[in-house]
Amino acid sequence: MLLYNTYEMMSIAAAHFFTIEYDKAIAKKGKFIVALSGGNTPIHLYELLATHAYSLNIDWKKVFLFFSDERYVPQNDQDSNFKMVKDNLLKEISIPEKNVFPIPTSSTPEKDALKYESTIRKIFSGKPAAFDLLLLGMGADGHTASLFPGVDVLKEKKRLVKEVYIRERKTYRISFTLPLINRAKQVLILVSGKDKKPVLQKISGKAVAKKPLPIQMVKGNVLWMVDEGLY
């Protein structure tokens, strides 16, 4: 877990890390397949990537952008993760429209989850889907993507993308599942916000949780970047 004095410093470090992972993927296979996260924490990261200083080093024509989860709202809705990324990154860079894959939200949650899973399988040409970089955040309740504590989708073993009904909020979301998340070549978890301090301290402890939170179920090559103000 890497700690940073400020949110700004953490965002800058994340932007540098993004370019490093981009370089590694381009050198190996000539393209960079990324899954972006929503929420407030990655906004400044996206703003930085949109600046000349970073975009100068990224050939966006070789980048393919997906989304790890989405609220089931229209793509122009203020709550849409796609709209947030569009406003802070996509509008400012020269990336082909065909390289951006927003989660569909125009049919039913179940049908659109299946459709997005099919899109992901196609981009990986039948090989196991493994993103070069997968960005995640963490909620104050320990959720990540749209995998909330207690939801049935946490038990999913085969599907890559599933619809998730959030009972407390009486709304649907669409989310990557743990099998897809844990297959990523590199996961970057960004955490900022004082409301997350209790759960971060809980999961950072040595005690083994009897019932792990969703964020604790993320496995593999995982790097945490945390705003030190949380400690």
Q: What is the pLDDT of residues 112-155, one digit of tens each?
A: 999 999 999 999 987 999 999 999 999 999 999 999 999 999 99
CATH class of 2-230: alpha beta
Pairing outcome for strands 69-71 and 63-67 = unpaired
Mean pLDDT across 88-104: 97
Between CA 219 and CA 222 the distance in angstroms is: 7
Question: In terms of C-beta density within 10 A (0-12 exposed, 13-18 middle, 19 or more buried), how is residue 93 classed?
Answer: middle
What confidence score (pLDDT) does residue 211 get?
Answer: 86
C-alpha to C-alpha distances, 189 to 32, 47, 99, 169, nearest whole angstrom: 18, 17, 23, 24
Domain map (residue ranges) of the chain? 2-230
pTM of the model: 0.94
What confidence score (pLDDT) does residue 197 get?
Answer: 86
- Record the tokens describing residue 219, joined without a space: 């496995």
What confidence score (pLDDT) does residue 154 get?
Answer: 96
Among 63-67, 95-99, 204-208, where is mean pLDDT lowest? 204-208
What confidence score (pLDDT) does residue 169 get?
Answer: 79
Q: How far is CA 205 from the centre of its chain?
A: 24
Among 11-20, 165-174, 214-223, where is mean pLDDT lowest? 165-174
Please name the residues in contact with 42: beta carbons below 8 A apart, sequence gap of 6 or more: 14, 36, 135, 137, 190
pLDDT of 193 strictly over 90: no
The DSSP line for 71-119 is ESS-TTSTT-HHHHHHHHTGGGS---GGGB-PPP-SS-HHHHHHHHHHH
What confidence score (pLDDT) does residue 27 get?
Answer: 98
Helices (H) and strands (E) in the chain, counts: 7, 9
The model's pLDDT over 59-79, given as tens digits with 9 standing for 90+, comes to 999 999 999 999 999 999 999
DSSP state of 58: -
